[in-house]
Amino acid sequence: MATKARYAEIRFNDRPIKEMRANPEALLLEPGEITADYEAKSPWRLDELYPDIARYRAVSVRPFIDADAKAREEEKMWSRVWLLAGVSSDIPDAGDWFRFDIGTQSIIVARGKDGEVNAFYNVCKHRGNELVQEDFGKGATSFTCIMHSWRYNMKGKNVRVTDRETFGPEALCQNLDLTPVHVRDWGGLIFVNMAADPMPLEAYFADLMPMLASYRMEEMHVVKDLTIEVPANWKTMYSVFNENYHAHATHPQIKPYVDDYNVQYDHYRHGHNRHLFPVAVVSPRWPDSRFINVGLAFMMQEAGVKAVGFKGDARHVRRAIQAAKRRPDNVYGMDFSGFTDNQLTDDWNPSLFPNVTLNMHPEGVLLQRFRPHPTDPEKGYHDVMVLSARLGEGRRPPAYMGVEDDVDVSGKVRPPRRRTTHENPQGGEVVEQDIANMVTLQRGMRSKGLNDIIVFSEQERRIQQFLAELDLYLTDAKEPDWTP
């Protein structure tokens, strides 16, 4: 892509890191004056959660290219976990609904007259025709199959079999209601689970819920929505966003104002984890760690901190921005109470097993989801959704999230979902740099030069955890009754 040439001069200009970390997992970012329990280190080390984690430092490429592996995932994993289907703001009123596709399965999520959210498979119980083909709908009172006009109410109950008298008793003795799917509306997010008796959502996400809740996503609204078809396995795509090791080379433009090395790693139960990236601080790879560079000066200006006469150097910018946001008259027009000091600047990046990453800020959240192609193990879908808080006039979510300048971020209009490909991803510079890697990573999986093996560093521990957790499902090591 063009950005490769654009940043050629700074891509590999790294200085040696003076304080190397053999065990990155041990780092705790220094908390500010205002902190919270959810900012602390995870109580579990990765090797405590997965005693055999060393097996996942060198793995076969077969699961990333193999059709049999895809089939096992669909049978043993996708049908048993809580999946992020969408956001609550897309179905605010009775009769609102959206469609969620995952592999070969399609699900309707709808809000009923009682305000409750229901979910059921998107398939008519007559001959299997899909009931809805669109992404979203509003004000529905029922779902009617366009092929033979069978009808279902908003809770999935069959209320019409057209020309019922022409069916024999053997046909009508079947359960003709839509098959329900477990669904939970929590914290502005909507999750579904296709298991017969799933683990409670509160247990599955218990370790991350306090942190997720602190961002108040239920008060945010969608300002960008993309689905990008990529010629890569969903695991290849997901793994690109599950490590910070790539940042200095893939995103060299961030080194003047993001520390990509001194990152807090935390691993949790059920495959979840997070990185906490310090922002408004110079990377230790950057040649000058004290000069207030153009990137830092811009961030100061954005936060209302004057660079002229600033008493300090680059090391003091992060705390100065945090203090500026604490002011009641801050330039964002936001109430930042309820957030820790570090949340006011840093990129908090949790991953929700099996297929979601979030880059979280009080001003907005970049939500990315990775879905398998229905039939091809070497294709997948990269969903990019940006949520924005209610911001002051002229303010927008962080620029790296790729929300175009002409997009209304007030929440008055929900943008339509755009469908595109890796050749024209429309995701913004940072996301597009990552997509370029997805494509070449997947192609390289077929190379004889790999001898079937890829390896992971300790900066890629989140990928190690992801693969270890996935294997628990594929080998039936996860308890069928979902014992917490």
pLDDT in tens, 251-270: 999 999 999 999 999 999 99
Spatial distance between the Cα atoms of 143 and 139, rounded to a whole number of angstroms:
11
Spatial distance between the Cα atoms of 455 and 177, rounded to a whole number of angstroms:
49
State the pLDDT confidence band at 228, using cuts at 50, 70 and 90: very high
The answer to whether the beta carbons of residues 251 and 259 sit under 8 Å apart is no
pTM over 0.75: yes
The answer on pLDDT for 479 being more than 80 is: no
Residue type, 110: A
Q: What is the mean pLDDT of residues 270-295?
A: 96
Burial 319-336 (b: 16+ CB within 10 A, else e): bbbbbbbbeeebbbebeb
State the pLDDT confidence band at 4, using cuts at 50, 70 and 90: low
Q: What is the mean pLDDT of residues 280-285?
A: 97
172 phi and psi, to 5 degrees? Answer: -85, -5
Spatial distance between the Cα atoms of 381 and 237, rounded to a whole number of angstroms:
9
* Predicted local confidence at residue 483, as pLDDT: 55
15: Cβ contacts below 8 Å, ≥ 6 apart: 284, 285, 286, 287
Class of domain 2-79+219-474: alpha beta
The answer on pLDDT for 160 being more than 50 is: yes
The answer on pLDDT for 161 being more than 60 is: yes
Q: CATH homologous superfamily of domain 83-193?
A: Rieske [2Fe-2S] iron-sulphur domain (2.102.10.10)
* Predicted local confidence at residue 6, as pLDDT: 83
Helix (H, G, I), strand (E, B) or coil at 249: helix
The answer to whether the beta carbons of residues 276 and 54 sit under 8 Å apart is no
State the pLDDT confidence band at 120, using cuts at 50, 70 and 90: very high
Q: What is the mean pLDDT of residues 289-305?
A: 95
Query: In the predicted model, what is the mean pLDDT of the chain?
Result: 95
The answer on pLDDT for 236 being more than 80 is: yes
Beta-sheet pairing, 221-230 with 418-421: parallel
Report which of residues 445 and 3 the model is more confident about.
445
317-354 tens-digit pLDDT: 999 999 999 999 999 999 999 999 999 999 999 999 99
Select from 11, 6, 5 the least CA-distant residue to 250.
Answer: 11
Spatial distance between the Cα atoms of 418 and 438, rounded to a whole number of angstroms:
20
* % of the chain surpassing 70 pLDDT: 98
CA atoms within 13 A on the CB side of 10: 17
* % of the chain surpassing 90 pLDDT: 93
Q: What is the mean pLDDT of residues 191-200?
A: 97
Spatial distance between the Cα atoms of 299 and 337, rounded to a whole number of angstroms:
20
43 phi and psi, to 5 degrees? Answer: -75, -5
The answer on pLDDT for 1 being more than 50 is: no
Beta-sheet pairing, 142-144 with 418-421: unpaired
Is residue 129 packed enough to be buried (19+ CB in 10 Å), middle (13-18) or exposed (0-12)?
middle
* Predicted local confidence at residue 480, as pLDDT: 58
The answer on pLDDT for 421 being more than 60 is: yes
Q: Match 């604490």 to its residue by tokens.
A: 326
The answer to whether the beta carbons of residues 247 and 260 sit under 8 Å apart is yes
Please, where are the H alpha helices in 393-482? 429-444, 461-474
* Predicted local confidence at residue 26, as pLDDT: 92
353-377 tens-digit pLDDT: 999 999 999 999 999 999 999 999 9
Q: What DSSP element (H or E) covers 59?
A: strand 58-60
The answer to whether the beta carbons of residues 435 and 426 sit under 8 Å apart is no
**Domain ranges for the chain:** 2-79+219-474, 83-193
In angstroms, how far apart are the furthest CA atoms of the chain? 86
Q: What is the mean pLDDT of residues 199-222?
A: 98
